[in-house]
Chain A
């Protein structure tokens, strides 16, 4: 990363690369299946069976179906693991296996973990709360996973990690920020390897919450499409292994790409609505580009926040136009939420995985279901997966509270 401001800081001599990936979401139980689903434009948004949502404005979500926790954990473990913790541990196992950093020369001491979570163990806590309100005596251990750092601790303990531990809780940008901070800890020499990403499990509270805001599409969401009516929620986890660049090169690790720059700016505008002209989102994308030392024209693909709400997609498009000008029309923009839903705390991590896979396989994931845009949303939203040269990707994650995170990935000089 190059700093805008003069001054010798250690981070300029280091790099943070991604050497391991683990994914679980509605369209794939691992990174390989996830890649295939992106190529196919497979939509995982179907009727929810996890809880009863009759009576709500929507009954749709990208729920992970056919999942049996006993395939992965024993009964004793499951008493202390909520659904989100399970997803995180499954993805982490895949990421560690993929990176091959476990049981190598790396001392556990230097491996840290920084995860992003959204509702965390809400599903378990809801179970507790519902029983309580119904006059029963619920099991107190249902409350354990409620502290958002629970999944982080579970992951760190399972893999014996003794480095820094942090949990980012900025709703929909949580796991994008976890990658930014994880990379920063590596660049500043606080860790050699950081396990980043995040998880989300569907819960009645978030489901009802988005319904109460009237931003839930009764149909599977259609980001950027003129007929869009809102978002579809999703669930899953993405865990990425970030590693100091020289170290990864030195051990001949397979490298997906490098996190070249980021911004974790705040809009300071409104708790739910984006600043409507898109100037704040544009500023944050520019900050990330500057941090990466990348000109907008060099970006091959924009992995959009693209939730499918009327306002988000409009403002994000305006912001892209503000940064790219006429070039915006030549830059492919797509939303993987069209397939895996909005996975809140896991969204940024899953989208980072999609961005890295795009570079690795020269494959731009589609905005599945996109047919036609509107007066504002008139960019190239990639209705079908497309083979193309992808060397630089920009990924956006915007959240409640105006917590906007933009990440820039590249695969040059690796």
Chain B
């Protein structure tokens, strides 16, 4: 795994688009979550979402093409362009299209089109179907549209794995590099929040709502009662280490380990197992920062905290942990934006806050960061948790010997 390094990032998020805006939003503790006006939330218990605001696709995509691309594809193209530019790469110029791949995690991409197409079927019948919609109902439309737009011809895939969707795509991409199937891999996650998806999360009673304390994303807080659905895209450029060194690329981090454990029963132990295996593989006892998967769900945050305590017993209370989902909300592929954030945290040496953390939950008693602070961050543990039975741990480390 150490042959894989990360040399570029790009993101579209509720707290800002692009590296500078996003970073500023994160360390200022900007709340990207607000009352939804883009669609009617009257039928639902929840009212808020982490929607991307002020996104201008024209800055990234030729105008004529924009209208043929759904929002998820637009996010993916824009973030991928930013990430490649950040890495100093131009496909066809300094990288070979066939040796460049893309594997994205798809957070219900295409569902908007499925809903619209099926609505037509139900309400208007088979005689009047819109053929433009159907091809973009597939979850792989976003990655494919990026490949088409940017000319990526290497390994191409799309992954969904519940709330570990982006982490699973990241692992797949790493392994295509290790198997030497490509020199460069574009990876990450894309989420699109739509009214039908918002309905689904509400129907399944998973979202936060105002029980008197307000509707908020409050990871690890005693008053948390669900997550806030969010959207956006976080894309990374993975590269073979030798390739990056040869072209003197700026290296954000190397992937020290990426592990996965399965099983819905005894989730705390499985979380611990994924983390302990990652630390073991990375040859490490502890880390400088934990990017937590805590998403303000009553159970998930507790499971994560207990898993961390089991995996890193003597050190865990010394390690700062933050969940930026407090500002962004949750999408099943939001691990992409989080990974992008991890690289900036490492580069800038500043740990962003977990906002809305007011009443500590004794079951989540970790060193939760309330205010941003400067420190040296050489290593980061990124956790991914799906209580449906997937647990992932990604260990990132600096390569420039900063200590």
A167: Cβ under 8 A from any B Cβ: yes
Q: Are B135 and A271 in contact (CB under 8 A)?
A: yes
Closest chain-B Cβ to A230's Cβ sits at a distance in Å of: 14
| 8 Å CB contact of A55 from B108, B126, B160 | B126
B289 within 8 A of A: no
Q: Are the CB atoms of B106 and A161 closer together than 8 Å?
A: no
Are A212 and B160 touching (Cβ within 8 A)? Answer: no
- Say whether chain B's binding surface is mostly helix, strand, loop, or mixed: mixed
Q: How far is the CB of A83 from chain B (nearest CB, A)?
A: 16
A152 vs B175: C-alpha distance in the bound complex, in angstroms?
20
Inter-subunit contact A401/B179 (CB<8 Å): no
- Contact partners of A196 in chain B: CB under 8 A: none
Binds A, one of B117-125, B213-221, B226-234: B117-125
User: Is B178 part of the contact surface with A, judged by Cβ < 8 Å?
Assistant: yes
Quick one: which of A129, A166, A210 contacts B161, CB cutoff 8 A? A166
Is A149's CB within 8 Å of the partner chain B?
A: yes
Chain B nearest CB, measured from A408 CB (Å): 14
- CB pair B137 A149 closer than 8 Å: no
In the bound complex, do residue B148 and residue A402 qualify as a contact, i.e. CB atoms below 8 Å apart? yes
Q: State whether the Cβ of A91 lies closer than 8 Å to any Cβ in chain B.
A: no
Which stretch in B32-40, B255-263, B296-304 binds the other chain? B255-263
Chain B neighbourhood of A3, CB < 8 A: 179-180
Q: Closest Cβ of chain B: how far from A208's Cβ, in Å?
A: 5
Contact yes or no, B262 A165, CB < 8 A: yes
Of all chain B residues, the one with the shortest Cβ separation from A132 is B199
Contact between B144 and A205, CB atoms less than 8 A apart = no
Residue B143 is within 8 A (CB to CB) of chain A in the complex: yes
Q: A403 to B140, Cβ gap below 8 A?
A: yes
Asked if A169 and B262 sit within 8 Å, CB to CB, the answer is: no
Closest to A139 in B: B203
Q: Which chain A residue shows the least CB distance to B68?
A: A271
Tell me, in angstroms, the Cα distance from A181 to B178 when the chains sit together. 13
Give Cα distance in the complex from A213 to B139, angstroms.
18
Given contacts A280-B153, A403-B156, contact A165 B168 (CB under 8 A): yes
Assess the A149–B161 pair: CB atoms within 8 A. yes
A399 lies within 8 A of B125 (CB): no
Picked from B98, B125, B140, B261, the residue with its CB within 8 Å of the CB of A400 is B140
Other-chain contact of A157, B168, B175, B389 (Cβ < 8 Å): B389
Q: Which of A260-268, A299-307, A368-376 contacts B (4 or more CB under 8 A)?
A: A260-268
- Docked Cα-Cα span, A171 to B101, in Å, equals 18
Taking a contact as CB atoms under 8 Å apart, the answer to whether B332 and A147 are in contact is: yes
Say yes or no for A202: interface residue by CB 8 A criterion. Answer: no
Which residues, 41 to 84 on A, are CB-close (under 8 Å) to B? 53, 55-56
Give 1 or 0 for each of B120-136: 1 = CB within 8 Å of chain A CB: 01110111011101111
Pick out which of these stretches binds chain B: A4-12, A26-34, A99-107: A4-12
Answer whether residue B171 sits at the interface, using C-beta atoms and an 8 A cutoff. yes
B-contacting residues, A165-187, CB 8 Å: 165-171, 177, 181, 184-185, 187
Q: Is B41 an interface residue (CB 8 A)?
A: no
Known: A133-B122, A204-B121, A271-B136. A403 touches B144 (CB 8 A): yes
Contact status B162-A147, CB under 8 Å: yes
Given that A400-B141, A401-B138 are contacting pairs, would A266 and B262 also be in contact in the complex, using a CB cutoff of 8 Å? no
Bound Cα distance from A162 to B315, whole angstroms: 27
* Interface status of A251 (Cβ within 8 A of chain B): no
Contacts of A136 in B (CB 8 A): none
User: Distance in Å from the Cβ of A57 to the closest Cβ of chain B?
Assistant: 8
Q: B98 is contacted by which of A171, A213, A283 (Cβ under 8 Å)?
A: A283
CB nearest neighbor in B for A262: B181
B129 near A266: Cβ-Cβ < 8 Å: no
Choose among A126, A211, A212, A287 the residue with the greatest number of B CB atoms under 10 Å from its CB.
Answer: A212
Whether A146 is near chain B, meaning CB under 8 Å from some CB there, is yes
Q: Give the Cβ gap from B174 to chain A, nearest Cβ, in Å.
A: 10
A153 at the interface (CB under 8 A from B): yes
Complex interface: chain B residues within 8 A of A122 (CB): 114
**Cβ B154 vs Cβ A266 within 8 A:** yes
Residues of B within 8 A of A7 (CB): 180
Interface residues on chain B, number (Cβ under 8 Å): 73
CB neighbours (8 Å) of A208 from chain B are 117-118, 121, 126, 129, 134
What residue of chain B has the Cβ atom nearest to residue A284's Cβ?
Answer: B153
Q: How far in angstroms is the closest Cβ of chain A from B114?
A: 6
Q: Interface size of A by Cβ–Cβ distance < 8 Å?
A: 77
Instruction: For A161, list chain B residues within 8 Å (CB).
Output: 262-263
Give CA–CA (A204, B114) in the complex, Å.
Answer: 11
Closest to B125 in A: A55
Cα-based distance from A214 to B179 in the complex (angstroms): 40
Distance between B271 CB and nearest chain A CB, rounded to angstroms: 13
Q: Which of A248-302 contact B (CB under 8 A)?
A: 263-272, 280, 283, 287
**Which A residues are CB-close (under 8 A) to B204?**
140, 143-144
B283 shortest CB reach to chain A, Å: 17
Q: A165-B161, A205-B118 are in contact. Are A264 and B156 (CB under 8 A)?
A: yes
- Chain A, residue nearest B389 (CB): A153
Closest-CB distance, B380 to chain A (whole angstroms): 21
Q: In the bound complex, what is the Cα–Cα distance between A268 and B179 (angstroms)?
A: 22
Q: How far is the CA of A130 from the CA of B162 in the complex (A)?
A: 25
Q: Taking the complex as formed, is B18 at the interface, i.e. its CB lies under 8 A from any CB of chain A? A: no
Q: Distance (Å) between the CB of A151 and the closest chain B CB?
A: 11
A161-B262, A402-B148 as given contacts; A166 in contact with B172, CB under 8 Å = yes
Assuming the A-B contacts A162-B261, A188-B179, are A205 and B139 also in contact, with contact meaning beta carbons closer than 8 angstroms in the complex? no
Q: Which residues of A contact B180 (CB under 8 A)?
A: 3-5, 7, 9
Asked if A169 and B106 sit within 8 Å, CB to CB, the answer is yes
**Does A234 belong to the interface (CB within 8 Å)?**
no
Given contact pairs A11-B179, A266-B147, A272-B135, A149 touches B114 in the complex (Cβ within 8 A): no
Specify which chain B residues have a CB less than 8 angstroms from the CB of A55 in the assembled complex.
125-127
- Mask: chain A, 195-212; 1 = CB below 8 Å from B; 0 = not: 000000000110011111
B118 in contact with A129 (CB, 8 Å): yes
Cβ contact within 8 Å between B161 and A171 = no
Q: Contact partner of A143 among B101, B200, B270, B332, CB < 8 A?
A: B200
CB 8 Å contact bits of A121-133 with B (1 = contact, 0 = none): 0100010011001
Q: Is B225 an interface residue (CB 8 A)?
A: no
A130 to B101, CA, bound (A): 39
A213-B135 in contact given A11-B179, A161-B262 (Cβ < 8 Å): yes
**Alpha-carbon distance between A161 and B262 when the two chains are bound, in angstroms:** 7
CA distance A160 to B270 in the complex (A): 13
28 contacts between A and B (CB under 8 A): A129-B115, A129-B122, A130-B122, A143-B200, A143-B203, A147-B162, A148-B139, A153-B390, A156-B262, A163-B260, A165-B262, A165-B390, A167-B160, A170-B140, A170-B158, A171-B138, A188-B175, A208-B117, A208-B134, A209-B137, A212-B130, A212-B131, A212-B133, A266-B153, A268-B147, A400-B140, A402-B147, A402-B148
* A interface, CB within 8 angstroms of B: 3-5, 7, 9, 11, 53, 55-56, 108-109, 112-113, 122, 126, 129-130, 133-134, 140, 143-144, 146-150, 152-153, 156-157, 160-171, 177, 181, 184-185, 187-188, 190, 204-205, 208-214, 263-272, 280, 283, 287, 399-403
What are the 5 A-B residue pairs with the smallest beta carbon separation, nearest first? A401-B144, A266-B156, A209-B134, A140-B203, A55-B126
With contacts A112-B262, A164-B262, A165-B262 known, what are 9 further pairs, Cβ within 8 A?
A122-B114, A126-B118, A157-B264, A165-B389, A169-B139, A185-B175, A212-B131, A265-B153, A401-B138
